[in-house]
Structure 1
């Protein structure tokens, strides 16, 4: 395992895009790369969080501290689009636009690459939508306080799937080849939901608090265990097949998979770790 150290910022989200590995420095309003490039957003309270590869030669990221979606082009161009409601989760939707969760608005937002903004209510009050992904032509997202998985069409029609486990606290979500994986932070479980709404849940070590998830092409997924300070792989049947300690108290958050099968993990303690399975 190798690490890139940052003196400040607390790495949070990770994206492999444009031949670089990007991370958001949530506490200082910066975005950085594993190669050492640091981009100051000139907004120290912007809290850049989830970051993804965009459809337009750029990375996009949520700024829930100042209600914006930021963009950094591979050419270095920096811009942002305003969208109210504390944007947090982010993905590229099936229509090529950026879709985000709006934590404080009980809504999902859509931002086109040209900056057009729309919002769609999820129909549940106090749900606290967290992460979001795309699967089967729709948007899927975790409802942290509603204990459910939401599904939305690009036209804004919503279906809600309650979780079998009470007080699960779902956070991370990622689409695999045949199902969507999600984490249950408060229940120490990882789950998967298929297109027909069938939900399976799998137990993880007690007190591990799974946070982010990245699905793999073979049907399993990688998970960051925030409280256990480790990275684990789970196969398609929910079995933990490998574990990689990241250092006591490292508090791993986001993760991203590279083409060489390496897993990049953002650590709250100030590092971007590269794990080669």
Structure 2
């Protein structure tokens, strides 16, 4: 299914800041409002509900958990938040200074997160037990995580210019990127058995196989500052260009197609694929972008 049309769905003011987005177990869109310190749900009927978290919480990334709830990182107050599909909230406190960013359900029934400012990857069980595994690099700025097809968690090190793999026992392997200053951010497990990631500093996409082979694909606009990436179940991946104001798609062979957003400087961040195969992206300026056939 070729997706070529984009419409924008007004959601909040820019002061709320839609940032992360995912599809919940209820089929609705769930997103974080980073500036407002809140979580929101957009139903298929267009009904929008918002739940305050905390004024200083800065929620970033949200993901479905193995327990039927949504889990999200609170980068401002060192917590992992949990919200049920009917809006009941709780939180797990992390070690001070963790600065959690990316989060994903792991292969072991727990949630795994990137502790940006603690040089660690963390694990939190659904009953709130926290373990942080130190990384063998200082100031690496662990950013995003994804569960790989190999019973491990993969992550990006934005300032260390590397992609890492962590086993569920905490064992780490780091893979330096070929391009200096690539500054990887988003990462996802592709339908092809490899991990795909974006290089915000180099204007490229990257692909890493489970044995560590890396290929890089330059974007048509090298100043586009790609930010988030999500696997397309039909093959390839969708990604956002924060600096280029676009949504893009990369095919398994590396072919790249991009689509301009209707509103200038919309600041696209998180991106997800809905059950119907259409694509939604969170625009920090206060809307969602919906890409359809």
Question: Residue 88 of structure 1: SS of its match in structure 2?
Answer: strand
* 1:6 pairs with 2:12: yes
Aligned pairs, number: 276
Q: Does the Cα contact within 8 Å between 1:14 and 1:23 map onto a contact in 2?
A: yes
1:9-48 equivalence runs, <5 A: 9-17=16-24, 18-34=26-42, 35-41=47-53, 43-48=54-59
State which of 101, 117, 123 in structure 2 corresponds to 1:88.
101
State which of 184, 188, 204 in structure 2 corresponds to 1:170.
184
Q: TM-score, normalised by structure 2?
A: 0.92
1:52-71 equivalence runs, <5 A: 52-71=63-82
Task: Give the aligned partner of residue 202 of structure 1.
Answer: 217
**In 1, distance between residues paired with 2:124 and 2:22?**
19
**In 1, distance between residues paired with 2:240 and 2:263?**
12
Question: Residue 48 of structure 2: SS of its match in structure 1?
Answer: coil
Task: Give the aligned partner of residue 185 of structure 1.
Answer: 200
Residues 244-273 of structure 1: per-residue CA shift (max 9 Å, x gap): 424210010001111111111010111122
* 1:158 pairs with 2:177: no
CA deviation after TM superposition for structure 1 residue 57, in Å: 1.5
Q: TM-score, normalised by structure 1?
A: 0.97
Structure 1 window deviating more from structure 2 (30-39 vs 162-171): it is 30-39
Task: Give the aligned partner of residue 62 of structure 2.
Answer: 51
Q: Does the Cα contact within 8 Å between 1:218 and 1:236 map onto a contact in 2?
A: no
Residues 50-101 of structure 1: per-residue CA shift (max 9 Å, x gap): 0001111111000010000000011321000011311111000000100000
Task: Give the aligned partner of residue 221 of structure 1.
Answer: 237
Q: Does the Cα contact within 8 Å between 1:128 and 1:144 map onto a contact in 2?
A: yes
State which of 246, 249, 274 in structure 1 corresponds to 2:265.
249
Q: Does the Cα contact within 8 Å between 1:170 and 1:185 map onto a contact in 2?
A: yes
Unmatched segments (≥5 aa) in structure 2? 1-6
- Summarize the Cα distance change of 1:184–1:81 in structure 2 as closer, same or farther, 3 Å threshold: same
Question: Residue 168 of structure 2: SS of its match in structure 1?
Answer: coil
State which of 94, 97, 122 in structure 1 corresponds to 2:135.
122
* 1:137 pairs with 2:148: no
